[in-house]
Amino acid sequence: MTGNHVKRRLAEDIFFKGMVCLFAFISLLPLFLILYYITKNGIAVIDWDFLTSLPRPIGEAGGGVFNAIVGTLMLIILSGVISIPCGIAAGIYLSENKAGKLASGIRLSVVVLQGTPSIVIGIIAYIWIVAPLKTFSALSGGIALSIMMLPVIVKTTEETLKLIPYHLKEASLALGVPYYRTILKVILPSGISGILTGILLSVARITGETAPLLFTAFGNQFMNINIFKPIDSLPYRIFYYAMSPYPEWHSFAWGASFILVVLTLVLNLIARGISVKWKTRF
Amino acid sequence: MSGTVSNTFQDDMDTQGKSIPGSTDRSEKRFRFILALCGSLIVLLLLAILVTLLVTALPSIKEFGLFFFIGKVWDATTETFGALPFLVGTLFTSFLALLISIPFSLAISIFLGEYFKEGAISGFLRSAVEILAGIPSVIYGLWGLFLLMPAVRFIEMKIGVAPHGVGILTSSLILSIMIIPFSASLGREVITLVPGDLKEAAYSLGATRFEVIKNIVIPYARSGLTAGILLALGRAIGETMAVTMLIGNSNFLPTGIFSPANTMASVIANEFAEATGVTAASLIYIALVLFFVTMIVNIAGTYVIHKLSIESSKEVS
Amino acid sequence: MLGNFSRVLSSMFVVFALICGSSVASASDMELLGAGATFPQPLYSKMFDAYNQQYKVKINYQGIGSGGGINQLIKKTVDFGGTDAFMTSKEVQSAGAPVLHIPTCLGAVVVTYNLPGNPKLNFTPDAVAGIFLGTITRWNDPKIASANPGVKLPDMPVSAVHRADGSGTTYIFSEYLTKVSKEWKEKIGAGKSLNWPAGQIGQKGNPGVAGYVKQTPGAVGYVELLYAIQNKMPYGSVRNKAGKFIEPTLKSVSAAANVKIPDDTNVSLTDTEAATGYPISGFTWLIFYKEQKYGGKAKDRAEALAKLLVWIVGDGQRYVEPLQYAPLSKEAAAKANKLVRSMTYDGVPLVK
């Protein structure tokens, strides 16, 4: 009787563990399928020509995504230039002011901004930038993406700086080093790995964003480096090619996806490398 | 320009040793002011977004008011706008996605937080989940178009419903894959936080691991798991590209899981570029609603996490 | 002044300034922006590619649908729009200034489908209306079968797909159905975006519809002829007013276009009287403001646009036929040319 009871409980235990392992690994299945498809279909089209030539007219063979790669890089730089200084400064403010009305207001705003759907930010950038400037532009796309980067940078900066021991700051201040110099020369450098990681993660987050670009950066079949003109980007190209009926464009979509995924993976890897290697231990 | 910058920098270096109290004070103030300014900028940004949405949506809010939420007809030709089909479409896809993803994200959380905290397998699984979180939405959509869509169509043919291939189910499936990493990573963290002495007490009473997980770990980590689910829900509600590519873009109330529909985000993506007047205002009204819904979900999720961290710090002390 | 931090900040501003600077430097090579109809997009992308090679002027055209083209022109975010539906009086009103339409080519809206074996099908107007009204739900419906003796139609569900964006292709198609089907006229009507029957799939742009039909067995949609041809998709012949089943071709579209064209070129070609004419065809237009001095637009930009438009209705017409669109008739081309010549900048004609 008791033996059976114990047996049943043990069987239950093993069954549960089996189920947990099973479900955990089933959830990996899509990942492998996605990576497999991207790699298989992507590598097949990627060659020098694909990386360095411009799109051809509809229905004509050949062409590449050079303008989209350049566009994506430009958007990253633009949004970074806009959001990184402000994000880090706000992060420092939060780590220096743990309580207070403004601080909690900022924290709340960061949470809300981080959760704001990307399409809403796209609309905002259209209303703020595209409509008044009377043109779709790389700038409007960059601003939309910078709004998405901002909360990530603020949050990681705050969290990193919070972990830096107080005595470091005290020691610096005690030596008569001015406050701002303490922050910039002592606190920031100690947290640099965390902040850089945050920046890279936020870049990885926005690199693949498409929705905010639909009504802002707009797309361009030509090469463009003017930030006041529409610009192409990898995610937009993928969307455009994926929805088309042309098999060659489908394979181009996979090729562009491969480039995009490699880009985000490399960013993630570097971020992780930095956070492990440069980590200042206390 | 860069010349002057390096000059002031140089000057700055020179004054370092001399330390003029007045100037340090002033620069400290200025420094704090810049920090506060950048911080307030974020609050202002959020307020500006809110005000912009409110003002531009006003024509529609005035015209339809709260009937907007119960109106079933979305028709640009007669300028009748009711957002119910999109509200239902959004909630339907998001909750279905959540339902599908919970067993998997819970399994990953328990696997990583309880069974295999360290080691090669868990490291592997952990990075896999991270990669999954990093794949862009549009690529999920692309993959869904060429793999998920034919698969769903195959099922639809087998059971004899209209074989669209796209619709609620297809979108929910892709969403569920996309949100697993969100609830799983938070779930792992809270499960790892469950105090060892509680579990050991249960083990010493002869409980099996399953019983410990069921009766100790899950109840203890409950609020954290809820927070993870809330954050995943927020993500699912706002997701645009993959859903737009797979939902079938029908402006009607969905009739079942195979029916084509539209979510709040996808209808904006489809129609915003061509919308004028009241149509545009109505789409922005939808954006406003979307903004508020995700805001509430995210604040609730963060609140739960916050409470959690306070509780756990109390227990430590 | 604030050490490292300000150095980082200022170096970022330098980067920013450099980007802006390079932008200004590159702004000298002209680039025009257009958006709208996907119906003629394959032709435009070919034309603009050729134009860029010849005149070194980049013309960025994005297919966002005719509705989008009209709206973005009204909001003045583009230099020109593309549409297959003439602007409504309400749209002209909200544009606030006279807008010119110049026809660029003619095309056919074809009913394309995906069936096993891809048979050539004939459609009666009733069958077309029934499919998109949702009253014909299976492919072996007598309404389809009766026009196709000798074709074995499968017992498959019909999955009709329409445009999710505001579309001139939809306008041509629905305007035709309004003329030939009373039920359609009462229930749905004509327009760029319609109140479609429930349960139908919507897709973005001609490419989106073609892509979905191509991938989905049993699906049926309406696209411009070239999209079907380029993708080797079957398309049906449609019975015209004279009672003949006409296959959409360059010739049958030109036959339908053989009508008197008014000075503003606003003319409908659907449900043509011509015995050999395909009944669902139409012009596609480029739209732009008559007075080009608005919103701080530079004169050279306006001149570049005028030059392009003259080229499109003249020399550029040689690219039309190879892509299976029908070129403008002499009369239409002359009227289009006259319209372009009425463009002004600050009251002065742009084309001499």
Q: What is the pLDDT of residues C67-109, one digit of tens each?
A: 999 999 999 999 999 999 999 998 999 999 999 999 999 999 9
Whether B145 contacts B245, CB under 8 Å: yes
Distance, in Å, from the CA atom of A239 to the CA atom of A57, rounded to the nearest integer, reads 17
- Distance, CA of A187 to chain centre: 25
Please check whether residues B247 and B180 belong to one and the same domain.
yes
Residue B28 domain flag = yes
Helices within chain B (DSSP H only): 2-18, 21-64, 84-110, 120-134, 137-143, 149-159, 168-193, 196-204, 209-212, 218-238, 241-246, 264-271, 277-316
Cβ–Cβ below 8 Å for A114 and B34: no
Whether B96 contacts B236, CB under 8 Å: no
Distance, in Å, from the CA atom of B77 to the CA atom of B81, rounded to the nearest integer, reads 10
Distance, in Å, from the CA atom of B271 to the CA atom of A206, rounded to the nearest integer, reads 23
Distance, in Å, from the CA atom of A220 to the CA atom of C62, rounded to the nearest integer, reads 7
Is B248 in the C-facing interface, judged by CB distances under 8 Å? yes
Of the listed ranges A76-85, B26-35, C86-95, C343-352, the least confidently predicted one is B26-35
Tell me the residue range of the domain where B42 lies: 15-67
Whether B269 contacts A119, CB under 8 Å: yes
What integer is the mean pLDDT of C311-326?
94
Amino acid A129: pLDDT: 95
Cβ–Cβ below 8 Å for C52 and A134: no
pLDDT digits (tens, 9 = 90+) for B131-173: 888 899 999 999 999 999 999 999 988 888 888 899 999 999 9
Cα angle C190, C195, C198; round to 5: 135
Please check whether residues A108 and A245 belong to one and the same domain.
yes
The model's pTM is 0.90
Whether A138 contacts A231, CB under 8 Å: yes
Whether C123 contacts C238, CB under 8 Å: yes
Cβ–Cβ below 8 Å for B75 and C10: no
Is A211 in the C-facing interface, judged by CB distances under 8 Å? no
Q: Name the nearest CA neighbour of A248 among A68, A65, A59.
A: A59
Please check whether residues B42 and B129 belong to one and the same domain.
no
Is B108 in the A-facing interface, judged by CB distances under 8 Å? yes
Residue B19 domain flag = yes
pLDDT digits (tens, 9 = 90+) for A17-56: 999 999 998 998 998 999 999 999 999 999 999 999 999 9
At CB < 8 Å, which residues of chain C contact B? 1-3, 6-7, 10-11, 13-14, 17, 64-65, 67-72, 74, 91, 94, 157, 159, 164-166, 189, 191-196, 198-204, 212, 215-218
Chain A residues within an 8 Å CB radius of B213: 16
Give the nearest chain B residue to A143 (CA atoms). B45
A55 DSSP β-pair partners: A63
C58 DSSP β-pair partners: C31
Cβ–Cβ below 8 Å for B41 and A20: no
Whether C221 contacts C112, CB under 8 Å: yes
% of chain B with per-residue pLDDT over 70: 91
Chain C residues within an 8 Å CB radius of B163: 157, 159, 216-218
Please check whether residues B58 and B81 belong to one and the same domain.
no
Shortest Cα–Cα distance, C65 to chain B (Å):
8
Chain A residues within an 8 Å CB radius of C213: 245
Cβ–Cβ below 8 Å for C27 and A228: yes
Place of tokens 């043109």: A135
Helices within chain C (DSSP H only): 3-26, 41-55, 66-74, 89-95, 125-133, 142-145, 168-180, 182-187, 205-215, 225-230, 250-256, 299-313, 330-341
Tell me the average pLDDT of chain A. Answer: 91
Q: Name the nearest CA neighbour of B263 among B279, B242, B281, B277.
A: B242
Residue A282 domain flag = no
Residue A123 domain flag = yes
Whether B277 contacts C211, CB under 8 Å: no
Chain C residues within an 8 Å CB radius of B260: 199-202
Tokens representing C86?
Answer: 């003439």
Shortest Cα–Cα distance, C207 to chain A (Å):
5
Cβ–Cβ below 8 Å for A86 and B38: yes
Distance, in Å, from the CA atom of C71 to the CA atom of C149, rounded to the nearest integer, reads 46
Please check whether residues A74 and A177 belong to one and the same domain.
yes
User: What is the ipTM metric for this complex?
Assistant: 0.92
Chain A residues within an 8 Å CB radius of B231: 115
Please check whether residues A159 and A207 belong to one and the same domain.
yes
Q: Which of B67, B86, B102 is the last residue of a domain?
A: B67
What is the helix (H) or strand (E) element at residue A75, kind and residue range?
A: helix A66-96
Is A23 in the B-facing interface, judged by CB distances under 8 Å? yes
Residue B251 domain flag = yes
Q: Which residue among A136, A219, A220 places its CB closest to the CB of C77?
A: A136
> What confidence category does residue B277 fall into, taking pLDDT thresholds of 50, 70 and 90?
confident
Cα angle C193, C194, C200; round to 5: 110
Tokens representing A187?
Answer: 């606190």
A 34-53: CB under 8 A from C: none
Chain A residues within an 8 Å CB radius of C75: 131, 134
DSSP A172: H
Please check whether residues A12 and A91 belong to one and the same domain.
no
Cβ–Cβ below 8 Å for A225 and C23: yes
Give the residue from B255, B262, B274, B279 with the most C CB atoms within 10 Å of its CB, the best one to mutate. Answer: B274
Cα angle A188, A190, A192; round to 5: 65
pLDDT for residue C21 is more than 70: no
Cβ–Cβ below 8 Å for C199 and B270: no
Distance, in Å, from the CA atom of B133 to the CA atom of A199, rounded to the nearest integer, reads 17
Please check whether residues A96 and A21 belong to one and the same domain.
no
Q: Which of B24, B42, B67 is the last residue of a domain?
A: B67
Is B252 in the C-facing interface, judged by CB distances under 8 Å? yes
Residue A235 domain flag = yes
> What confidence category does residue C9 fall into, taking pLDDT thresholds of 50, 70 and 90?
low
Q: Name the nearest CA neighbour of B178 among A37, A30, A236, A256.
A: A30
Amino acid B119: pLDDT: 84
Distance, in Å, from the CA atom of B76 to the CA atom of C191, rounded to the nearest integer, reads 10
Please check whether residues A29 and A69 belong to one and the same domain.
no
Cα torsion through C32, C35, C41, C47, rounded to 10: -10
Q: Which residue among B142, B238, B287 places its CB closest to the CB of A123?
A: B287
Is B1 in the C-facing interface, judged by CB distances under 8 Å? yes
CATH code (residue B269): 1.10.3720.10
Identify the residue with better confidence: B120 or C16.
B120
Tell me the residue range of the domain where A11 lies: 2-45
pLDDT for residue C17 is more than 70: no
Please check whether residues A13 and A80 belong to one and the same domain.
no
Residue A73 domain flag = yes
Please check whether residues A16 and A75 belong to one and the same domain.
no
Shortest Cα–Cα distance, A218 to chain C (Å):
8
Residue B239 domain flag = yes
Tokens representing B218?
Answer: 């899950």
Cβ–Cβ below 8 Å for C6 and B5: yes
Q: Hey, which chains touch B, using 3+ CB pairs under 8 Å?
A: A, C
What integer is the mean pLDDT of B302-314?
77
Cβ–Cβ below 8 Å for C70 and B274: yes
Distance, in Å, from the CA atom of A166 to the CA atom of A143, rounded to the nearest integer, reads 36
Please check whether residues A7 and A118 belong to one and the same domain.
no
Cβ–Cβ below 8 Å for A85 and C208: no
Residue B8 domain flag = no
Cβ–Cβ below 8 Å for C2 and A219: no
> What confidence category does residue A280 fall into, taking pLDDT thresholds of 50, 70 and 90?
low
Looking at the structure of chain A, the number of domains it has is 2
Amino acid C296: pLDDT: 85
Residue B22 domain flag = yes
- Per-residue CA distances from C290 to A230, A260, B131, B281, C344 (Å): 24, 43, 53, 28, 6
Tokens representing C307?
Answer: 């030059």
pLDDT for residue A244 is more than 50: yes
B 228-247: CB under 8 A from A: 231, 234-235, 237-241, 245
User: Phi, psi (5° rounding) for residue C291?
Assistant: -95, 115
Please check whether residues B50 and B174 belong to one and the same domain.
no
Whether C129 contacts C280, CB under 8 Å: no
Cβ–Cβ below 8 Å for C77 and A131: yes
- Per-residue CA distances from B199 to B187, B225, B295 (Å): 17, 18, 36
Please check whether residues A74 and A22 belong to one and the same domain.
no
Residue B278 domain flag = yes
% of chain A with per-residue pLDDT over 90: 68
Please check whether residues A85 and A187 belong to one and the same domain.
yes
For β-strands C80-83 and C281-289, DSSP reports them as antiparallel
Please check whether residues B134 and B196 belong to one and the same domain.
yes
Cβ–Cβ below 8 Å for A238 and B139: yes
Of the listed ranges B286-295, C10-19, C49-58, C260-269, the least confidently predicted one is C10-19
Tokens representing C176?
Answer: 């035709």
Looking at the structure of chain B, the number of domains it has is 2
Which residues are CB-neighbours of B50 under 8 A, at least 6 positions away? B291
> What confidence category does residue B103 fall into, taking pLDDT thresholds of 50, 70 and 90?
very high
Residue A203 domain flag = yes
Residue A13 domain flag = yes
Burial class for C20, CB neighbours closer than 10 Å (0-12, 13-18, 19+) = middle
Kindly provide the b/e burial profile for residues B221-236, where b requires at least 16 CB atoms within 10 angstroms of the residue's own CB: beebbbbbbbbbbbbb
Which residues are CB-neighbours of B115 under 8 A, at least 6 positions away? A17, A20, A21
Helices B218-238 and B84-110 cross at an angle (nearest 10°) of 140
Place of tokens 């491969």: A258
Amino acid A282: pLDDT: 62
CATH code (residue A200): 1.10.3720.10
Tokens representing C228?
Answer: 């079907």
Of the listed ranges A49-53, A268-272, B279-283, C333-337, the least confidently predicted one is A268-272
pLDDT digits (tens, 9 = 90+) for A123-145: 999 999 999 999 999 999 999 99
Please check whether residues A123 and A173 belong to one and the same domain.
yes
Phi-psi region of B225 (alpha: psi -120 to 50; beta: other; left: phi over 0): alpha
pLDDT for residue B284 is more than 90: yes
Please check whether residues B31 and B178 belong to one and the same domain.
no
Q: Number of residue pairs across A and C with CB atoms under 8 Å?
A: 117
Q: Hey, which chains touch A, using 3+ CB pairs under 8 Å?
A: B, C
Please check whether residues B131 and B28 belong to one and the same domain.
no
Chain C residues within an 8 Å CB radius of A81: 12, 15-16, 19
C237 DSSP β-pair partners: C122
Q: Name the nearest CA neighbour of A125 among A99, A104, A147.
A: A147
What integer is the mean pLDDT of C10-29?
56
Cβ–Cβ below 8 Å for C165 and B271: yes
Please check whether residues B61 and B84 belong to one and the same domain.
no
Distance, in Å, from the CA atom of B69 to the CA atom of C287, rounded to the nearest integer, reads 37
pLDDT for residue B12 is more than 50: no
Give the nearest chain B residue to A27 (CA atoms). B104
> What confidence category does residue C15 fall into, taking pLDDT thresholds of 50, 70 and 90?
low
B 67-86: CB under 8 A from A: none
Please check whether residues B113 and B244 belong to one and the same domain.
yes
Residue B7 domain flag = no
What integer is the mean pLDDT of A62-79?
94
Cβ–Cβ below 8 Å for C2 and A184: yes
Of the listed ranges A1-5, B138-142, B208-212, B219-223, the least confidently predicted one is A1-5
Cβ–Cβ below 8 Å for A244 and C207: yes
